[in-house]
Amino acid sequence: METLANLESFVRSAESGSFSAAARRLGLTPAAVSRNVALLERNLGVQLFMRSTRGLTLSEAGERFQQSVQGGLDSIQGAIADIKVNAGQPAGVLKLSAAPGFGMDYLLPLMPAFLERYPGVVPDWVFDSRPLDLIAGGFDAAIGAGFELPPGMVARELARIHLIAVAAPALLQGKRRPKDPSGLAEFPNVVIRSPLTGRLRTQVMRNHAGVEVTAKQRVIMLVNDPDALSRAVVLGLGVGLIPVPHAAPHLESGALVRLLPNWYGDVGAVSLYFTSQKLLPAKTRVFIDFVVEAFRSQNIARLLSAR
């Protein structure tokens, strides 16, 4: 049975065409790599490389052998790395990002159970509504909506975010309620700018029958944060199209009432973002699994939906 060192020396030498380059990659001397390959050739009874002063060239037998062992070697090394990375209890600082309102209302309440299960992990939360460079910022994971997906990151959808039209009761006194989203223009509206582009976005709303109508808004004030939008609407400054998670507590308290109860806007997914590396650190892997399971078991997606 050939040793892993002999096989790895052969594969890395074949990839680079040089014992010296393979040695630098493996942390060995060129002489050690050459000995490992020579031992492999002797044991197999075939010449794997044609050697010359210009470098190494795979023989016909060497090409066939490389194709046969390459995938198996990568799998073995992956298994070894996985054991090293994920052995033992997850531990370490876990840098996380989320929007302030959503994070405090829906993610912080998950932390007591998470910390009880994984006491060695220290969550380091950054609550910020602005778009962040997750890789440059050293984040292990982020939860939010509207992120541009940079190379090296993947997104796992948790729920859909819906907008609903709401207003303070005092604003509606003596006024006729709108029949569809086009009627919102009859009221003053507080409107949010996109945190990504700074532009105003035309919002299309749909009813339960699938009919779509553009929401017409007479803008009297602009904000750049959904929490600020909620507060402005509670103050009676105007009607607002507010994400369900931000509107829900004010609807429960009676500070806001919902207009157009059969209409909503779909503004995209709230997702869990993390690096696409095959071997995630244990602390990141268990956090992802924990949040996904919590959203499922607590039916949080339904709480974010207007339907």
Average pLDDT over residues 64-78: 81
**Separation between Cα atoms, residue 15 and residue 39, nearest integer Å:** 19
Is 90 exceeded by the pLDDT of residue 133? no
Look up residue 118 and give its amino acid. Y
User: What is the reported pLDDT for 81?
Assistant: 63
User: What is the reported pLDDT for 248?
Assistant: 87
Q: Give the CATH number of domain 4-84.
A: 1.10.10.10
Is the CB of residue 294 less than 8 Å from the CB of residue 300? yes
Is the fold of 4-84 the same as that of 89-306? no
Model confidence at 278, in pLDDT bands (50, 70, 90)?
Answer: low
Model confidence at 131, in pLDDT bands (50, 70, 90)?
Answer: low
Q: What percentage of the chain exceeds 90 in pLDDT?
A: 49
Is the CB of residue 73 less than 8 Å from the CB of residue 7? yes
Domain assignments of the chain as residue spans, ordered by start: 4-84, 89-306
Average pLDDT over residues 82-97: 77
More confident position, 202 or 265: 265
pLDDT digits (tens, 9 = 90+) for 134-178: 777 888 999 987 667 767 778 899 998 899 999 999 999 989 999
**Separation between Cα atoms, residue 24 and residue 94, nearest integer Å:** 33
More confident position, 303 or 259: 259
Average pLDDT of the residues of the chain: 87
305 CB-near residues (< 8 Å, 6+ apart): 159, 160, 162, 244
Q: Is the pTM of this model over 0.75?
A: no
Top-level CATH class of 89-306? alpha beta
pLDDT digits (tens, 9 = 90+) for 42-52: 999 999 999 88
Is 60 exceeded by the pLDDT of residue 1? no
**Separation between Cα atoms, residue 239 and residue 247, nearest integer Å:** 12
